Amino acid sequence: MAITFQACREEEPGTNVLLPSSLKLEVVLDEEVEGKVDVTATALSANFYSFDFGVDGESQYIESEDGTATYTYEEAGEYIITARAHALQDEFVEVTDTILIEFYTPPVITLPGDSGYRTPTSYDGYTLVWNEEFVGTFLETSNWNYETGTGSSGWGNNELQYYQEENATVDDGKLTIEAREEIIQGSNYTSARLTTQGKQEFQYGRIDIRARSPYGQGIWPALWMLGSDFSTAGWPFCGEIDIMEMVGGTVAGGGDNVVHGTVHWDNDGQYANYGDSKTMPEPLANAFHVYTIIWDESQIAWYIDDVQYNVIDITPAALSEFHQPFFFIVNIAVGGNWPGSPDATTTFPQTMDIDYIRVFQEN
Residue in 63, 245, 282, 297 annotated catalytic = 245
Q: What is the pLDDT of residues 16-31, one digit of tens each?
A: 889 999 999 999 999 7
Cβ neighbour number for residue 297 with a 10 Å cutoff: 10
Q: Give the global pTM.
A: 0.76
Of 91, 132, 178, 240, the active-site residue reads 240
The residues spanned by each domain of the chain are 2-101, 126-362
Is 102 annotated in the active site?
no
Q: Report cis status (omega within 30 of 0) of the bond before 120.
A: no
What pLDDT was estimated at residue 213? 96
Mark whether 182 is an active-site residue: no
- SS3 assignment for the chain: CEEEECCCCCCECCECCCCCEEEEEEEEECCCCCCEEEEEEEEECCCEEEEECCCCCHHHEEEECCCEEEEECCCCEEEEEEEEEEEECCEEEEEEEEEEECCCCCCCCCCCCCCECCCCCCCCCEEEEEEECCCCCCCCCCCCEEECECCCCHHHHHCCEEECHHHEEEECCEEEEEEEEEEECCEEEEECEEECCCCCEECCEEEEEEEECCCCCCEEEEEEEEECCHHHHCCCCCCEEEEEECCCCCCCCCCCCEEEEEEEEEECCEEEEEEEEEECCCCHHHCEEEEEEEECCCEEEEEECCEEEEEEECCCHHHHHHCCCEEEEEEEEECCCCCCCCCCCCCCCEEEEEEEEEEEEEC
Distance CA 16, CA 9 (A): 7
* Architecture in CATH for domain 2-101: Sandwich (2.60)
Strands 48-52 and 350-362: unpaired
Nearest partner of 116 among 260, 331, 285, judged by Cα:
285
Q: What is the pLDDT of residue 3?
A: 45
- What would the CATH number be for the domain defined by 126-362? 2.60.120.200
Q: Do the beta carbons of residue 209 and residue 334 sit within 8 Å?
A: no
Please count the other Cβ atoms lying within 10 Å of the Cβ belonging to residue 103. 13
Those residues of the chain that have pLDDT short of 70 are 1-15, 111-112, 250-253
Res 285: pLDDT: 94
Q: Write the pLDDT tens digit of every residue in 241-277.
A: 999 999 998 665 678 999 999 999 998 888 899 999 9
Q: Are 41 and 67 in contact (CB under 8 A)?
A: yes
